[in-house]
Each structure stands twice: as C-alpha cells, then as structure tokens.
Structure 1
Amino acid sequence: MEPRFSSVPRAEGRQNLKVLVRLGLIVLLGIVTLGSLIRAGTAWQSGDNTMSAVDVEKALPSFLRSGSSWAFQDTSEVGVDDVNTENGASVQIEVHEASLDRAQEEEEEDEREMRELELAKRHDLWVEPKRLNVDEVCKRMFGNGYTNIVQICNGEKASMDCWYSPTSRGAVCEGSNLVVDPSLIAVAPGGEPASSVSGRDEAAEIPVYKKGALKMDCDLPKEAWDPEMLAPHLKLVMSSVASDIKGAVTAQCTSWEEKPTLFVTRYEHADVYSAVADWYNTYQAQQQLADGEDVNLVFLDGHPQGPLDEAWSSLVGKRVRHVKSFSSPTCFRKAIFVPVGARGALSVTNFHDVASCKRVPQVRNFANAFVDRIIADDKALTQLADASKRTKPLVLVFLRNPFRPAQVLKNEKEVIASLRGLNFADVRLEPFDGLSFRECVALVRGAQVIVGIHDAALSFILFGLPGTTLVELQMPEYKGLSYYDRLSQFVGAAHRVVSLPPPEEDSLHQLPPAKLTTAISDAVQVEVAI
C-alpha cells in the first residue's frame, strides 16, 4: 500500500539527522568548555590566587557567558567547580533552568514528531489503482488527501486522532477503545416510519452533544486543536470527549463491539445528491481506516425511515443502527467518524477545483463496489444491469419529478409519443418515484442513454458505465451549473444539455419533441472518447 503521507521517509531522515547534529554539538561544546576552564585554572594558579567572576566569564567562550544558557551566582555551598573571587565568595558554573526547559521542550517535540510518523505509517489510505493518470489535486480530492493530523486524545489504553484534508476541507477521525453514552446525545430516536413523525421539527433529528457523550481513557492535549479543521459537525462530536487517564472508563465495559464501526451524520437522508456524497465519504473511510473489511454503521442523526435506507445496508452490510437504539453506554474497539457529504470529494462546493478530473479511478472503484453490492444475488437486477445482452441500446427516461409540479413537461404526452417512435432504441419511460432504489441503480447501469429533467435523481449517473450519455433537460434558472456535468466526467460518461424554454403562464415548460429525439439519436451514434 502507498504510505499515508509521502513525506514519511524524508521526515525520518530529518529526525535522524537532527539527532546526529545535536550529538555533535554536545561533543564540541564539551571540548571547548573544558579547554577554556583549563586556561582559566592555569591563569589562577600562576597569579595571586584571585580571579574575579568577570575574569572567569571572559575565559569562557562567548556562547557560555552571561545571558546565555549558563550563569554565575554567589553560593556558600561547595559546587562541582568552585572559583574564589576577590571578596572570598564562591562562583559556581551551573545550568540555567531555561536551558533545561528548552531541552525538555525539544524532547517533547521529538516525541510528538515520532508519534506522528508512527501514525502516518499505521494509517494507509485505500489502495490507489496502479494506473492513476490524473493530476495531483484529483488524487488528493478523491484519495490520499488527508495530511494534517489533529490529536484529540492520546493514551496507552485509548486514543482519538483526526486527519484533515486541505483539498476537500473535510476530516475523518479514528478512535480506539471508545465508550459512547447515548444519554448525553440529544436527538430523536430515528428509524421510525415517516408517517409516524409527520410534523416533527427537523432540528430534533440533528444531534446535540453534551460533555462525556464520548468517553476515553487517555490524555486530552494541552494545546487546543483547531476547530475549523473539524468543521462543521466533527468539531461538535470531538468537543464532547471526556477523558480519564486512570482507566476508569473502559473498566466498566463488560462487552465490546469488536468490528470497526462507522459513525455517520446525515443532514439530508432522502435527497439523492446528498446521499451520494455521504456514500462516497463512507466508502472512502471504510477503505482507508477499516481496510475494506466488514463494518458496522451507527447513524448519529435521528432521521426517520426513508427510500434510500436499503442503500446504506447494501453499502456496509446489514448492521445499521441509530445511536439512540443503544439503551446504555456502549464500548467500541474501533470507531471511525465519517465526514459529512458537504465536506467531501463529491461536494458541489469542491467541483471548481476538480474540473480537470476525468474518469477518476477511485470514483470508478466506489461505483463498481456499490453496484455489485446492490444487485448481488438478484438475477433479475443483474439482467437489467447487463448492457451486453441487449439487442438495442437502452434509453432510460425520467420525465417528471412528482414533488415539483413545475418540473413536469406541459406537452409530456406529445414527447412520450415521439420517444416511443424511436425504433433504434429500447426506450423505457420510468417515473422515478415508481422504482425501488435497487431497480433504479440496475437500470442506470444497463442504460446507454439517460434522460431527465434537472433533478437530484440525475446523480445516479455516478453508477453508469463509461460511455453512457446523460441528457439533461435544463431549465433556464439552472443554466451554467456543472454538477451533473462533473459527475458524468468522473465516471467517463458524456453530458449533453437540452435547454428548456422559459415557463409559460402556468409555470410549466414545453419541450419541442424533435429537440430531444435528435439529442438521443446523436448520443446513441456517437461513442464517448475514453
């Protein structure tokens, strides 16, 4: 595996060089000081047996005189090297406390550096494909970009460390031997049928943490960590950590959750765009800190059931719980706190930085793994996703958003009749709300052309194959937005825009059918350069 930080070998070299330089300086300092004191003693014995403190100081090299790390002081005690002065007092050369303090600080700094090196070695990011032909910013955004260590808690029995990515402005945290106390987390239970919580304030579904919500047997750092590195939600989570260096926290644990556990906070649980960004961050954390092994997942939020819940189960396995489902403090051997979607590689706020990232290997790895888990052991879904078995290219059309009447075409029936006349393709007209999540993923995987009005559902293009074309019916207010364009290029798909005219008096858009059929015909006949 590629080292977590590429600077580790060089950092070790610098550390070794620093030690050698210090040893050399100590030896040189001893030789020079000894020679100076011998000269001072010779002058004292050959003279009138008197020598002032000033004379002694002059006999020493300049870097050992007053104001340096050494000093002279009157004393009545016999020192290691006493020198008589004119008034009979004794001058003793001794180490100044400031010198000892600096030496101790340097030693502590060395220990911190060595710990960071060890952490860097221990935490490899997920394996990047050997053939990675993208620029450095793409690598850091989608893969190995977590370079800044934020130490939350350190001890022999427990620890919590976070890594910040300056590229995505997100952070991921890992804790060992952690106790989570759900009684100190104010949030709705979560996982209820949506109909049973109709009218509930959504703010109640976002967690609020009290001190001690997370407990660990470790030392909190003396210096405060930068909260901006863990914004927006991880700084709230990590601020709740309470420590006990005597080991009283984990001593109360009678059982442990041994599998690595991912802790996820969803700010939007039913929106496909937000979910895709959360899924990618979760998969990335699983690969980099859990080595891709089976994990458990705990939602820290309190959202009710939603249409995308089955995707989470497919992504990480069947063990998905809400934090409020734990009836008492629960002990975890390994806890991984996932960054929110808004602070990750697929956040729209980062898309201007990745305009050059095309067919990104890490995104392809994620999409392939996700689709495999979604359609695994389902023969019907596997057939839907297999484009090679089709005699005609599949054109998948999502024409409406039932939750937004303004996104329904005024001449929808006319457009549908025109699409049904395309004899060169297998056209499937599907209402997005009429498909299960798994069916939608399988159809997108098997389609050559996907058509839809600008909507979060177009985020499913991320699960399409390279060479797929996304035809976006774009309303005037969304002109210039590059979200679906970026998602398409990440997977090696093409993106075409069919602009809709301004809405009429009834707020509906009318689409000339020939405009859409021409775009589909071009997409089927033109191969995407890969």
Structure 2
Amino acid sequence: MNRRTTLLVRTLLFLFVLNSFSLFLYFITHKTSSSPSSSLQLKKPRTYLTPLSHQTHFSKPWPILPSYLPWSQAPTTAPPRSCEAYFGNGFMRRRDLLLSRGGAGWFRCRHSDTLRSSVCEGGRLRMVPERIAMAKGGEDLSAVMGRREEEELPAFQNGAFEVDGGEVVDREFLVDKKFLDEYVPRGGIDRHTMRDLIAKIRIVRGKDFQCDEWIEEPALLVTRFEYANLFHTVTDWYSAYVSSRVTGLPNRPHLIFVDGHCAAPLEETWRALFSSLRYAKNFSGSVCFRHAILSPLGYETALFKGLTEDIDCYGAPAQELWQNPDDHKTARLSEFGEMVRAAFGLPLNVHRGGKPLFGHNILFVRREDYLAHPRHGGKVESRLSNEQEVFDSLKSWASNYKGCKINLVNGLFAHMSMKDQVRAIQDASVIIGAHGAGLTHIVSALPKTVILEIISSYFRRPHFAYISRWKGLEYHAINLAGSHADTGTVIKELVDIMKSLGC
C-alpha cells in the first residue's frame, strides 16, 4: 500500500510541475513582449483613451491532464514533419509585426513550417463589428432556414480590426502580401478568412483608439466553416486548444466566434472547453481586447491534413515520451481527448484492464436523419443500408454471448447531449459504427478501446483509421462491396475482438 501511495504522490507532483512550468513560461514571454520596458513605464500614462466599460469575466483554469506535456515557447524549430510539429507543438518561427511602445499595442505571429499555418496574437486590438459583413449569428435554427452560407462567413472591410500603434504610426496596414504569403498562405482553401482578417488590420494612432467595451482576459477569435459536422468541428476544437497552449495562456480563454452561423448543438462543447462564448456581431459597438489570439482554421490541423498527407505518427503514453522523445510518436491527441472529457467533468483516472465488473460495453454509433443547419434537408447519406438489421443481430448475439457479460449500447447521438455522448465513448470497451462523423468522438476514447469501422465502398476514407493510430488504439475495418453488411461477418469480427479482451 505504501508503494502505491508513493507512486501516486510522484505522479501528482510530476503533473503539478509540468503545469507550473507552462504557467511560468507564459508570464516570462508575455511580460517581455506585451508590456513596455521599465524605462518606458516611467512615462506619464496617456489620458486620451476613454473606454466606456471594462469587462472582466471568470476564466476557467486548465484541468490537470494525465497525458499533458509542456508546450514549448522556445525559439527553436521542431524537426520538420515530426509528430510534435504536426500536432501543434511546432509554431516556432516567430515574427514580431508590432512591438509595444509606451503601453501601445503589439502583434506577432508564430509559424509552423510543417502545418504551413500561423498562430497570431496581439494586444490592444480593436474589433469594429460594423465593418464585418455577415449575419448576426447565434440565432435559433428555425429562424434562419434557407439562409445562404455566404451570408454566414465574414467579409472584412479595411479596419475591421485595428491595433493601437501609439503616438507615431509609420504605415496604414499591419501586414503586406509578402508576409501573408509566407505566414498565412492560402493553400488549398478558397476562402481563407483568417488571412483576410489579418490583411485588413490597420494601425491607428493612440488618440484614435476609442473603445465601447474592453475585454481584459485573453480572448480567442475563431471562424468556423462546417460547424454542424462533428469531424470538422473537432478540427476547430483542436486548433483552438493548440492556439491556447502555444501562446501559453494561464487559463482557458474566452471565445469570440467571428462568423454568422446560427446556434448549433456542438456549441455545448465549445462552452465546456473554454471560459465563455460570444458572437462578434452580438457586440453593440467596438470592442477592444487586452490580449487576442487568432486561431488557425481547422483545415490546417493534422486531423484534416492527414487525409491528403502521410503523417507517420503513432500514439504513445505521455510518460514514455517524456523520458524517451520519439519524432514518430505523439501523446497530443490523447491529451486533447482528456481535455474534452475533463471539460464535461468526467473522471480522468479511469483505466481499463481485465474484465469490467458490470461487463464490456459495445457502443454502436448510429447515423440518423436530423436537421443540422439552414441548408440541410434533414437527410443523411446512407453509409450502411441495413444498419437496423445489423444492430438487431448484435443485440441478440450480445444477450446470448457465453464468454462474459456484454452490454450493447444504442448510440443514438442525435438524441443525446454532448456530455452523454462523450461519457458513452469513455465507457465503451469496443466502439463500432459505419463511417460517419459520429466516430470522431474516438478522440476521447480511453487507451485499450477497440475500434471497428464498417466502411461502405462509396465512402472509403481514412479519417478514423488515422485517428485510432494517432491515439494508439486498436483498429479493425470491415470493407463492404456496397453499403450492405453481412451480419455474420460483423459478429465474427466482434467475437475475435472479445476474445482478445479475454472475454
């Protein structure tokens, strides 16, 4: 018993040191970059700033994550195409575009040569919503049926965002095309909203920097595209999480959606992950940020790039990588999955080993018809034409299985809260389902969870095989000749999986 207690104490100390180290780095890097030097601080404070209100909101602390490893802010370069670089710990090439002078604003970007994107941040940055053309956002779905996507994505006018340049301003715009092409390349994205936002940032003199509202705590600016699709939304969640860690924020930032999408069920997770949530167009006037971070598009994460690039990475425990770093292994996706579970208050000290006391849960992730966004007719594509037959056969098989107790869980996610969906994933020994966005939840699965994907010949895509590999999960696939699955084949595959689990 003493040995187990000692091991527990050492583990807790290890996690405490890692989180403390990250917090220390934040204060060191931000003290030198976002504040004036000591000699400048002796100057008389400027009196021409007249903000109408200073908003102070509670910021949620970061949870202690078992798979957490420090996120480097050192000006070194992660090995190109290494797993650390692919999964976000490689935004190392820093460019200061505006240095703080006399308490004025500042702006910088960190570029990842591997992901070909940048995390940018600035201080004393002003957003002028009336210069952003888009829908208000956050409306009830029933009120905006038929609205076009073009109305929901932002179109920025010059000066939609402005930064306080102090008493002397030597140029109108913060960046030029050369910088954009190098640090925020368009790539294969037709409408790169973050590039367009940065391109329109103007530098204004301090006396012209007037604010109707101030946000004192760090704020994360996010533009979503396919916000109703779980896979694409997870790429946005991951990008936002990485941006928060790369910039060394001591607490979870507040979110500002710089888009005009209506309210959607997936916002439940956005609110759980971060400190608060508001829409850019919901502000009544200009709003100024003491510290704003611009999150890269979800299309620029490894989760999306892995569909077209060979990302040679494999999931491994964080403690193993802490002692023996390996450019072909990663714990970042497991860390993120723990973050999602912790955001919903689910336990992180759950370990699966041996036969569970109440039996093994086999979670069958179902696809359903549902109304997702203003342009959605409520019909999903058929990935498994006899899904109900397969489920009924599995239900009969599970109830008569002799090896051990099996609980077949009907994963009707469209009728479940996000917390309940994540809980079902956490409680599952085996996750089975046809290829579809709902399987993206495996990012939150526990180690030793087994994945069985049924793949129609019309949808042979590697999304979930890759996520399983990057998390170190055992993965199996049944490739169909069409969209109809043979129930006997599915059951045979599950029997083999259960035997491998000692059942």
Q: Output the TM-score relative to the length of structure 1.
A: 0.68
Give the CA deviation at 1:358: 2.5
What corresponds to 2:437 in structure 1? 456
Aligned 8 A contact 2:336 2:443 in 1: no
One of 459, 466, 483 as aligned partner of 1:478: 459
Are the structure 2 counterparts of residues 387 and 438 from structure 1 closer, same or farther at C-alpha, using a change threshold of 3 Å? farther
What corresponds to 1:525 in structure 2? 499
Aligned 8 A contact 1:467 1:527 in 2: no
What corresponds to 2:117 in structure 1? 170
What corresponds to 1:393 in structure 2? 360
Aligned 8 A contact 1:197 1:304 in 2: yes
What corresponds to 2:36 in structure 1? none
Match of 2:234, as an amino acid?
V
- Unpaired runs of 5+ residues, structure 1, are 9-124, 377-381, 503-508
What corresponds to 1:365 in structure 2? 335
Aligned 8 A contact 1:348 1:483 in 2: no
Give the CA deviation at 1:249: 3.5
What corresponds to 2:480 in structure 1? 500
One of 237, 240, 247 as aligned partner of 1:289: 247
What corresponds to 1:247 in structure 2? 206
Aligned 8 A contact 2:109 2:121 in 1: yes
Please give the secondary structure, in 2, of the residue aligned with 1:371: helix
Match of 1:272, as an amino acid?
L
What corresponds to 1:226 in structure 2? 179
Please give the secondary structure, in 1, of the residue aligned with 2:291: strand
Alignment of 1:206-225 (within 5 A): 206-218=153-165, 219=169, 220=171, 224-225=177-178
One of 410, 426, 437 as aligned partner of 2:418: 437
- Unpaired runs of 5+ residues, structure 2, are 1-20, 30-67, 73-78, 187-191, 317-329, 370-378
Give the CA deviation at 1:126: 7.5
Match of 1:287, as an amino acid?
R
Describe the superposition over 1:238-294 as per-residue Cα deviations: whole angstroms up to 9, x where unpaired: 1111112x41233x2365211000000001111000011111111111122142413
Please give the secondary structure, in 1, of the residue aligned with 2:341: helix
Alignment root-mean-square deviation, CA: 2.9
The structure with the largest alpha-carbon Rg is 1
Are the structure 2 counterparts of residues 292 and 501 from structure 1 closer, same or farther at C-alpha, using a change threshold of 3 Å? farther
**Counterpart check, 1:142 vs 2:95:** no
**Counterpart check, 1:312 vs 2:270:** yes
Are the structure 2 counterparts of residues 201 and 450 from structure 1 closer, same or farther at C-alpha, using a change threshold of 3 Å? same
Alignment of 1:1-16 (within 5 A): none
Aligned 8 A contact 2:218 2:253 in 1: yes
What corresponds to 1:66 in structure 2? none
What corresponds to 1:88 in structure 2? none
What corresponds to 2:281 in structure 1? 324
Describe the superposition over 1:192-246 as per-residue Cα deviations: whole angstroms up to 9, x where unpaired: 01111000011110001011111112255686543233132222011111112x4
Residues of 1 paired with 2:386 and 2:129: CA distance? 51
Give the CA deviation at 1:366: 1.3
What corresponds to 2:126 in structure 1? 179
Aligned residues: 389
What corresponds to 2:486 in structure 1? 512
Aligned 8 A contact 2:91 2:246 in 1: no
Are the structure 2 counterparts of residues 198 and 361 from structure 1 closer, same or farther at C-alpha, using a change threshold of 3 Å? same
Describe the superposition over 1:5-52 as per-residue Cα deviations: whole angstroms up to 9, x where unpaired: xxx9xxxxxxxxxxxxxxxxxxxxxxxxxxxxxxxxxxxxxxxxxxxx
What corresponds to 1:107 in structure 2? none
Match of 2:82, as an amino acid?
V
Aligned 8 A contact 2:212 2:287 in 1: no
Match of 1:413, as an amino acid?
E
Residues of 2 paired with 1:328 and 1:491: CA distance? 44
Aligned 8 A contact 1:399 1:408 in 2: no
Structure number with higher helix proportion: 1
Match of 2:164, as an amino acid?
D
Q: Output the TM-score relative to the length of structure 2.
A: 0.71
Match of 1:439, as an amino acid?
D
Match of 2:106, as an amino acid?
S
Are the structure 2 counterparts of residues 222 and 428 from structure 1 closer, same or farther at C-alpha, using a change threshold of 3 Å? closer
**Counterpart check, 1:417 vs 2:369:** no
Report the identity percentage: 24
What corresponds to 1:111 in structure 2? none
What corresponds to 1:196 in structure 2? 143
The one of the two structures with greater contact order (alpha-carbon pairs below 8 A, sep at least 6) is 2
Residues of 1 paired with 2:310 and 2:207: CA distance? 47
What corresponds to 2:219 in structure 1? 261
Aligned 8 A contact 1:215 1:249 in 2: no
Residues of 1 paired with 2:390 and 2:268: CA distance? 36
What corresponds to 2:303 in structure 1? 346
Match of 1:195, as an amino acid?
S
